[in-house]
């Protein structure tokens, strides 16, 4: 045991013994209750001295002169034969606490084993720091080594590893400043989303992850089955016989909770979903994942304008929340990852979004002096290059495009009187492109059924969806925000794989 440690233990014992004398005095007086009270205080004080304090809490209100215990992972270690400085991080904040060690007071082998990446507990006194870069430091009395990190093999030795390399060590990348910041912000955003909707009287609705319907009518879904893949039962016409499968029908992982969300909204009023969604699309882009999280509010009695107002207010609320609550992490990302980050976040909250129709956007794009990789024309879907031109070069702020051709949008969107367009809205963001896709929903039974037939979808798959239009239908609207695209925007990370802990993309499901 370290000698300071022995002193600490001796102090504690003498403290208890002193009070013990009080107990005996008290007992003579017959006040048993008081003795028990003293005993509890002793234990309480001991626990306080020994209890771990998180570094975030320690730095926010440092009690100079107090004894503290911190636990965390060593970021750097430097010094000479007399004194060692350790930068310790416990994940609670991007900021480290400096540990000062008088080398002669500790066993040589212990100090040798404490290298970058090692996990330690430190008890010591909180003192003012005269060094640069910090106001306080901990003068170590006792160090406990939980886990070594062999300097020969620990992958996070030096700074400046590439993002690609970090993805290969996703189990360790949390320990870097960048990913610590990203995942703390991700948490804060998830919390803010629930807070925003709760404060507005929305209900969080859990829609199914395994589904029997394909919301978009697109063939981009992952099958869910318990069938033996080496022996798949077939019907006479060679199609798969799903009757023997677990659910007795074809099932998939959901691509969106919207259809079920609508069912909730048409009774609860305002609901939102926030869950994982899955798309087996083979898009190897910096904005697509095969598994991503989506927030989908759905509101009864909202028209498209109400829908746009909500989307704009919601996005601005989240950015403001991040600016107010994730200052240290955002400043770090602004300095290290993207020098325009804070400027861009502030610009979005301080400007109203442009709202134009798809048709107007096509006019702007066709008259722009630009060479496009993908052609522009009325009826064609917009590509990221077009979306980003509108936002980053033409308007220089977020843009909401509405009234898209019905051919390029889903069956459930409300049809306009022109017979050509639907009440869709896509919110386009700088650096991202589409961040939200939404619409006013078709609430008229006949129009919805016609559209299902026109698009050659299976009417019987949507019987329950159609019934909500048959019984007490109501105008309603909603949208989907891709959570990771939002985190990309807020953190300035350029690849979506770096804002989800364990990304799933084509040919990649490690960890
Ligand atoms: P995109 O054209 O960019 O592929 P989409 O039109 O397929 O988007 P929607 O079906 O409207 O997107 O989904 C709503 C939101 O979900 C999008 O605005 C986007 O933020 C997000 N999103 C869609 N697909 C993905 C994906 N593969 N990975 C991550 N987020 C996605
Ligand atoms: Mn898509």
Contact 386, 365 (CB under 8 A): yes
Which pLDDT value is given to residue 157?
79
Q: Beta strand 203-204 with 223-224: parallel, antiparallel or unpaired?
A: unpaired
Contact 434, 387 (CB under 8 A): yes
Burial label for 296, CB within 10 Å (0-12, 13-18, 19+), is buried
Q: 437 CA to middle of ligand 1, Å?
A: 7
CA distance linking residue 23 with residue 27, whole number of Å = 6
> How many Cβ atoms sit within 10 Å of the Cβ of residue 275?
18
Contact 115, 151 (CB under 8 A): yes
Contact 71, 51 (CB under 8 A): no
For residue 358, CA distances in Å to 287, 309, 409, 434 come to 22, 18, 12, 13
Per-residue pLDDT of the chain (511 residues), as tens digits, is: 344 444 445 555 555 555 554 555 555 555 566 666 666 665 665 555 568 999 999 999 999 999 999 999 999 999 999 999 999 999 999 999 999 999 999 999 999 999 999 999 999 999 999 888 889 999 999 999 999 999 999 999 777 899 999 999 999 999 999 999 999 999 999 999 999 999 999 999 999 999 987 555 555 899 999 999 999 999 999 999 999 999 999 999 999 999 999 999 999 999 999 999 999 988 889 999 999 999 999 999 999 999 999 999 999 999 999 999 999 999 999 999 999 999 999 999 999 999 999 999 999 999 999 999 999 999 999 999 999 999 999 999 999 999 999 999 999 999 999 999 999 999 999 999 999 999 999 999 999 999 999 999 889 889 999 999 999 999 999 999 999 999 999 999 999 999 999 999 999 999 9
Q: 34 CA to middle of ligand 2, Å?
A: 70
CA distance linking residue 150 with residue 113, whole number of Å = 8
Which pLDDT value is given to residue 7?
46
* Element containing residue 482 per DSSP (H, E): strand 476-482
Task: Pick the residue whose CA is nearest to atom 10 on ligand 1.
Answer: 437
Q: Name the residue of 398, 399, 482 to mutate for ligand 1: max ligand atoms within 8 A of Cβ.
A: 482
Which pLDDT value is given to residue 4?
43
Distance from the first to the final alpha carbon of the chain: 40
**What's the pTM value of the predicted model, to 2 decimals?**
0.90
Q: 164 CA to middle of ligand 2, Å?
A: 24
Coil, strand or helix: which one is 223? strand
Q: Is the dihedral of CA 419, 424, 429, 432 positive or negative?
A: negative
Q: Going by C-beta distance under 8 Å and a sequence separation of 6 or more, which residues neighbour residue 354?
A: 395, 397, 398, 399, 400
CA distance linking residue 441 with residue 451, whole number of Å = 12
Where would I find the H helices in 326-424?
A: 327-336, 341-350, 358-367, 384-388
Ligand 1 contacts (CB < 6 A) are: 279, 288-289, 292, 294, 434-437, 480, 482, 484-485
Looking at ligand 1, which atom is closest to the CA of residue 255? Answer: 10
CA distance linking residue 70 with residue 122, whole number of Å = 5
Which pLDDT value is given to residue 134?
84
Looking at ligand 1, which atom is closest to the CA of residue 437? Answer: 11
Residue 31 structure tokens: 């006040």
Q: Name the residue of 272, 411, 437, 497 to mutate for ligand 1: max ligand atoms within 8 A of Cβ.
A: 437
* Element containing residue 433 per DSSP (H, E): strand 433-440
Report angle CA 426, 262, 435 to the nearest 5 degrees.
20
Task: Pick the residue whose CA is nearest to atom 23 on ligand 1.
Answer: 482
Place of tokens 């507990």: 121
CA distance linking residue 234 with residue 238, whole number of Å = 5
For residue 218, CA distances in Å to 41, 166, 255, 280, 382 come to 66, 33, 10, 10, 18
* φ/ψ (deg, to 5) at 269: 95, -80
Q: 365 CA to middle of ligand 2, Å?
A: 21
The whole-angstrom distance between residue 150's C-alpha and the CA centroid of its chain comes to 31
* φ/ψ (deg, to 5) at 437: -125, 130
């Amino acid at each position: 045991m370290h000698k300071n440690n022995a002193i600490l233990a001796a102090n504690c014992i003498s403290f208890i013994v002193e009070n013990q004398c009080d107990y005996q005095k008290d007992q003579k007086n017959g006040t048993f209750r008081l003795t028990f009270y003293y005993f509890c205080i002793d234990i309480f004080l001991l626990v306080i001295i020994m209890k771990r304090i998180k570094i975030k809490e320690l730095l926010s209100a440092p009690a100079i002169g107090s004894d503290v215990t911190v636990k965390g992972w060593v970021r750097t270690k430097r010094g000479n034969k007399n004194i060692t400085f350790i930068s310790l991080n416990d994940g609670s904040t991007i900021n480290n606490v400096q540990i000062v060690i008088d080398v002669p007071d500790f066993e040589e082998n212990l100090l040798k084993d404490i290298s970058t990446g090692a996990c330690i507990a430190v008890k010591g006194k909180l003192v003012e720091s005269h060094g640069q870069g910090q106001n306080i430091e901990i003068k170590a009395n006792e160090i406990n080594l939980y886990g070594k990190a062999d300097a020969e093999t620990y992958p996070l030795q030096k700074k400046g590893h590439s993002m690609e390399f970090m993805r290969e060590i996703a189990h360790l990348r949390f320990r870097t400043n960048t990913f610590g910041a990203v995942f703390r912000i991700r948490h804060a955003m998830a919390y803010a989303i629930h807070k925003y909707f709760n404060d507005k009287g929305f209900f969080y609705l859990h829609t199914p992850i395994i589904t029997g319907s394909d919301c978009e009518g697109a063939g981009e879904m992952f099958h869910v089955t318990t069938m033996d893949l080496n022996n798949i039962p077939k019907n006479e016409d060679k199609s798969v016989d799903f009757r023997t499968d677990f659910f007795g029908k074809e099932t998939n992982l959901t691509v969106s909770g919207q259809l079920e969300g609508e069912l909730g909204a048409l009774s609860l009023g305002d609901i939102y979903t926030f869950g994982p969604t899955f798309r087996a699309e083979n898009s190897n882009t910096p904005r697509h994942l095969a598994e991503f999280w989506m927030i989908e509010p759905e509101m009864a009695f909202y028209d498209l304008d109400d829908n746009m107002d909500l989307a704009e207010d919601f996005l601005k609320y989240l950015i403001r929340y991040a600016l107010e609550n994730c200052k240290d992490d955002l400043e770090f990302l602004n300095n290290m990852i993207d020098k325009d980050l804070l400027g861009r976040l502030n610009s979005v909250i301080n400007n109203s979004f442009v709202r134009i129709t798809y048709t107007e956007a096509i006019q702007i794009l066709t008259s722009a002096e630009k060479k496009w990789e993908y052609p522009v024309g009325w009826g064609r879907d917009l590509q990221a290059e077009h979306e980003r031109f509108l936002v980053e070069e033409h308007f220089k702020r977020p843009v909401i495009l509405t009234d898209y051709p019905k051919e390029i949008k889903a069956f459930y969107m409300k049809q306009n009187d022109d017979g050509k367009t639907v009440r869709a809205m896509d919110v386009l963001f700088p650096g991202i492109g589409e961040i939200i896709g939404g619409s006013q929903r078709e609430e008229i039974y006949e129009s919805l059924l016609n559209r299902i037939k026109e698009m050659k979808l299976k009417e019987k798959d949507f019987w329950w969806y159609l019934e909500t239009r048959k019984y007490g239908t109501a105008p309603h609207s909603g949208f989907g925000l891709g959570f990771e695209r939002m985190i990309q925007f807020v953190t300035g990370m350029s690849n979506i794989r770096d804002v989800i802990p364990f990304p799933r993309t084509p040919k990649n499901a490690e960890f």
